Each structure stands twice: as C-alpha cells, then as structure tokens.
Amino acid sequence: MDRVFFEQLAMPLFDQLYNHACWLTGDRVDAEDLVQETYAKALKGFAAFAEGTNIRAWMFRILRNTFLTSKSGLAAQRTEPLEDEDGNAEELVADSLTPEVILMRSQNEQALFAALDSLSVNYRQIILLCEVEEMSYREIAQVLDVPLGTVMSRLSRARNALRASLGVNVAQEVR
C-alpha cells in the first residue's frame, strides 16, 4: 500500500483523532504531539493494515496505545473546553437566548466537563468513543482490544459513574 492511499484513508480522521487526543491529554500541545506520533506509527505500519478493515478503529487504537505508552499516559489530569487561539470563546448570538438560558447552558457544560474529568481514563475514554465519536460497540471493542461484552459492561459502569458525578439519581431517571 502506498503513501497516497494512506493519506486518502487516514487524513479525513485527523480532526476526530485530535479532538479525542485533547480529551485524553488535557493539553493541546500534548494532543498535537500524540496525533503526530499516531500518524507516524500508522504510516510506518500501514503495510500491515488489511485493506477493507475499519481504518477508523485502527487509527483510534494506535492513538490509544500511543497515549498509554506516552509520558502523559494515564496521568492525564485536566480536560478543559477548547477555545479560540486568542482565548475567547465563540460569541453567542442573543436573539432568542436569554442571559439566564446562556448561564444555565454554561453551568451544565462546566458540570459535564468536570464530571468527565473526574472519571478514570478508561471510563472517560469509553464514554468519549461512544458518545462523542459515535463509534459502534464493535468499533470500540477493536480500539480498546477488549471483547464486545466488556465494552457494554464498562460503558454501563462509566455512564453510572458519570451520573453519580453529576449527582443524578439513577432511580429517579428510570421513572
């Protein structure tokens, strides 16, 4: 397989990989390094990639393994919302949004980010792969190199931990 073919398959995944790397590392510079190293490893090992298999799961798996063996690895501590380079969040147009609605959304977003940040890396990663990257259970199993049943049980435990961190009573939610 050639380099052009690799670029056609792998480059459309760049934004998804970078976003996931930001969540894992909690730092833009570390995320950039992680994605760069992921692409370098993927290109180097592309001859072993079986054409017709899931390139997305393969790339995310390389990213995950690279993260776990990196210096930031499991010690990733803080995740903050990404902002523009000048440090300003995108302006909100206030035609139907009241200041109260904007404040509530901001507080909910901050609570969610804090709750995600409080999860272990394994729980945070499986939630992000499922909910943010919208991967199927099968893709997640490929990325994490675990059986499908493990994905389902780990995702269930991660969601429960996230709910608990947010202070949501699971019994009330079922009603």
- Give the tens place of pLDDT for each residue, 60-69: 999 988 998 8
Question: Using CB atoms within 10 A of its CB, is residue 167 exposed (0-12), middle (13-18) or buried (19+)?
Answer: exposed
User: Are 36 and 99 part of one and the same domain?
Assistant: no
Range of the domain at 31: 1-75
| Whether 57 contacts 143, CB under 8 Å | yes
> For residue 84, is it within any domain?
no
Instruction: Give Cα 141 distance to the centre of its chain.
Output: 15
**How many domains, in total, are found in the chain?**
2
Instruction: Please tell me the predicted confidence (pLDDT) of residue 137.
Output: 93
Question: Using CB atoms within 10 A of its CB, is residue 142 exposed (0-12), middle (13-18) or buried (19+)?
Answer: buried
Mean pLDDT is lowest, of 12-21, 52-61, 110-119, for 110-119
> For residue 86, is it within any domain?
no
CA dihedral of residues 38, 121, 130, 97 (deg, nearest 10):
-100
CA distance 129 to 137: 9
Residue 122's identity, in one-letter code, is N
CA distance 77 to 23: 10
User: Are 103 and 155 part of one and the same domain?
Assistant: yes
36-77: pLDDT as tens digits? 999 999 989 888 888 778 899 999 999 988 998 876 554 444
User: Are 121 and 52 part of one and the same domain?
Assistant: no
Q: What's the CATH code of the domain at 124?
A: 1.10.10.10
User: Are 3 and 42 part of one and the same domain?
Assistant: yes
125-167: pLDDT as tens digits? 899 899 888 899 999 999 898 999 999 999 999 999 988 888 8
User: Are 67 and 140 part of one and the same domain?
Assistant: no
CA atoms within 13 A on the CB side of 164: 9
> For residue 36, is it within any domain?
yes
Q: Alpha helix locations (H) across the chain?
A: 3-10, 14-25, 28-44, 55-69, 99-118, 121-127, 137-144, 148-166, 170-174
User: Are 96 and 71 part of one and the same domain?
Assistant: no
> For residue 81, is it within any domain?
no
> For residue 40, is it within any domain?
yes
Instruction: Answer whether residue 93 shows pLDDT above 50.
Output: no
Please tell me what DSSP assigns to residue 78. -
User: Are 134 and 60 part of one and the same domain?
Assistant: no
